[in-house]
Chain A
Amino acid sequence: GAGVSQSPSNKVTEKGKDVELRCDPISGHTALYWYRQSLGQGLEFLIYFQGNSAPDKSGLPSDRFSAERTGGSVSTLTIQRTQQEDSAVYLCASNSPGGRNTGELFFGEGSRLTVL
């Protein structure tokens, strides 16, 4: 596709349920990032992929959070046993067309997660 695509755009779930958020980056972009945007908190880095590897997963808040990327393309962020504090907008971004880091991240419109 032309841009970074994320799904679902909105997700409401009950506390304790698992959720999966999907990101489809721009074709050819080798780097993929997940951020979390909470009200008044700015953008919090979660994890970064280069190809299918994650050299930096330092931002994952707890072991309930995990992410994978397959085929150097689509990524899934999974949150297990969701808590109310997980409510936020989860943003995906991609970079590095053909492996060349341009310094510019291209963001999707985000997945808004609400945990009741």
Chain B
Amino acid sequence: GDSVTQMEGPVTLSEEAFLTINCTYTATGYPSLFWYVQYPGEGLQLLLKATKADDKGSNKGFEATYRKETTSFHLEKGSVQVSDSAVYFCALSDQNTDKLIFGTGTRLQVFP
């Protein structure tokens, strides 16, 4: 079945460092891909998405490019802030049922 694999955390960075969180997927067909974020004490919310190959999703300085050839959707940010500390989830949509399949999440901790 469809699945998502993302790098284990925690990822610990200093403020203004470059961030990469790796995500790869296995799917039949051409799913849409998502990054969701869960800030401390809050519910999950959509960070960005891409619906077809080579699309780049971006929001709040974060970017991810849908790479069909490597089945990847890595999350990047050029300069992280303390306020980016959160758990980040990569996900894909099941085209048959519209449900999202999530990775296990990666905790990011940014220190001043």
Pair from one complex: yes
A: residues with CB less than 8 A from B are 3-4, 31, 33, 35, 40-43, 45, 48, 50, 55-56, 91, 93, 95-96, 101, 103-110
Which chain B residues lie closer than 8 Å to A43 at the CB level?
Answer: 44, 89, 102, 105
Cα distance, A95 to B89, chains bound together (Å): 18
Q: Does chain A have a CB within 8 A of B13?
A: no
Are A40's CB and B43's CB within 8 A? no
Q: Which of B41-81 contact A (CB under 8 A)?
A: 42-46, 49, 51
Q: Are B101 and A45 in contact (CB under 8 A)?
A: yes
Contact B44 A31 (CB under 8 A): no
8 Å CB contacts to A: which residues of B65-112? 89, 93, 97-105
Tell me if B46 and A105 are in contact (CB < 8 A): yes
Contact partner of B46 (CB less than 8 A), chosen from A3, A91, A104, is A104
B22 within 8 A of A: no
**Interchain CB contact under 8 A, A55 and B49:** no
- Tell me the bound Cα distance from A104 to B93 in angstroms: 10
A109 lies within 8 A of B43 (CB): yes
Task: Point out the residues of chain A lying under 8 angstroms from B25, CB to CB.
Answer: none
Q: A42-B89, A103-B51, A107-B45 are in contact. Are A48 and B101 (CB under 8 A)?
A: no
For residue A95, which residues in chain B have a CB less than 8 angstroms away from its CB? 98
Assembled-state Cα–Cα distance A40/B93 (Å)? 21
Complex: chain B residue closest to A3, CB-CB: B43
Which residues of B have CB within 8 Å of A91? 43-44
Q: In the complex, which residue of chain A has the Cβ closest to the Cβ of B46? A: A104
Of all A-B residue pairs in the complex, the 4 with the closest CB atoms, nearest first, are A42-B104, A43-B102, A107-B44, A107-B43
Enumerate 18 A-B pairs (CB-CB under 8 Å) in ascending A order.
A4-B43, A31-B98, A35-B102, A42-B102, A43-B105, A45-B99, A45-B102, A48-B98, A50-B98, A55-B97, A56-B99, A91-B44, A93-B44, A95-B98, A101-B98, A103-B34, A104-B46, A108-B43
